[in-house]
Amino acid sequence: MGIETSKHANAFLPNTMDFGELENMLQAPSVTPICLPVEFLKGITRDFSVDQELGRGGFGVVYK
């Protein structure tokens, strides 16, 4: 399963990285926290759309 995103979100990925590669990197057990631009997050969550929500909890909303 890949990440469905807007074309706008692609602008924030390095030219040599695709979403599948980013997804694999973020799921690696040794991954360290990284900062992602808000515009990138808006793109991959379709502007934080309710339709993209997986759930809500004490730490906030989780998106697809």
pLDDT digits (tens, 9 = 90+) for 5-63: 445 555 556 566 677 877 887 788 887 877 888 988 898 899 999 999 999 999 999 99
Beta pairing class for 53-57 and 60-63? antiparallel
Instruction: Mark out the alpha helices in 1-64 (DSSP H runs).
Output: 19-27, 38-44
C-alpha distance from residue 60 to each of 5, 24, 35, 48, 56 (Å): 21, 23, 17, 12, 6
Q: What is the pTM of this model?
A: 0.53
DSSP state of 18: -
More confident residue, 46 or 3: 46
